[in-house]
């Protein structure tokens, strides 16, 4: 039996037209867009100029499409309230920004939470900042064997393991 409060959904649990309401909705504000643009810069004129967007017939400048990838909003886990036992385990909403490291990979570099948790006895204001630094590349050497013989890079099986209808190239 699962001990999770909500085990979640699998693909087959969803149906066409189903409305999914997230427990902690978050709206991207103009302040979020300004901070994102200050951190990462704008790649296109239409995203950085309301006047240019209007000249194209748009009601406002659209969000940069990478904003959703680089800025993550959420909560670490759902809130847990057990009124009969008096247990409350609440967590603040947070925002995480990502940056490109080594010109190739995107990693979280800054997380901020500034939220008020509403407990039964009192409200508690939480402010957290987490900075992720000094990312370093790591690696390992791996040797894969199949029935006592080393498998070549690219996943080729040893010659005697190939099906009889295949010939070596």
Listed in sequence order, the residues at least 6 apart from 89 whose beta carbon sits closer than 8 Å to its beta carbon are 79, 80, 81
Please give the Cα distance from 23 to 15 (Å, whole number). Answer: 19
Please give the Cα distance from 114 to 125 (Å, whole number). Answer: 7
Look at residue 127 and give its three-state secondary structure.
strand
According to DSSP, residue 54 is labeled H
Q: Are strands 123-131 and 105-118 parallel, antiparallel or unpaired?
A: antiparallel
User: To the nearest 10°, the Cα dihedral for 78, 72, 129, 40?
Assistant: 180
What is the full per-residue pLDDT of the chain (169 aa) written as tens digits?
445 555 566 778 778 888 766 555 567 778 878 887 887 788 888 888 889 999 999 998 888 877 766 666 666 666 667 766 777 778 888 888 888 777 777 788 888 889 898 888 889 999 999 998 887 777 788 888 888 888 877 655 555 555 556 555 5
At CA 79, angle to CA 73 and CA 80, rounded to 5?
165
Q: What is the pTM of this model?
A: 0.46
Q: Which two tokens stand for residue 11?
A: 């693909």
């Amino acid at each position: 039996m699962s001990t999770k409060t909500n085990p979640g959904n699998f693909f087959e649990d969803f149906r066409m037209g189903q409305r999914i309401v997230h427990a902690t909705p978050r709206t991207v504000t103009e302040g979020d867009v300004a901070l994102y643009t200050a951190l990462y810069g704008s790649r296109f004129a239409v995203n950085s100029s309301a006047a240019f967007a209007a000249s194209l017939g748009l009601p406002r400048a659209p969000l940069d499409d990478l904003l959703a990838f680089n800025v993550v909003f959420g909560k670490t886990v759902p809130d847990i309230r057990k009124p009969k036992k008096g247990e409350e385990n609440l967590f603040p909403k947070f925002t995480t920004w990502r940056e490109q490291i080594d010109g190739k990979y995107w990693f979280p570099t800054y997380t901020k939470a500034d939220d008020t948790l509403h407990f039964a006895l009192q409200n508690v204001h939480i402010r957290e900042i987490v900075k992720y630094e000094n990312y370093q590349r790591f690696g390992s050497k791996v040797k894969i064997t199949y029935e006592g013989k080393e498998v070549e890079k690219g996943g080729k099986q040893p010659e005697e393991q190939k099906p009889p209808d295949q010939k070596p190239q």
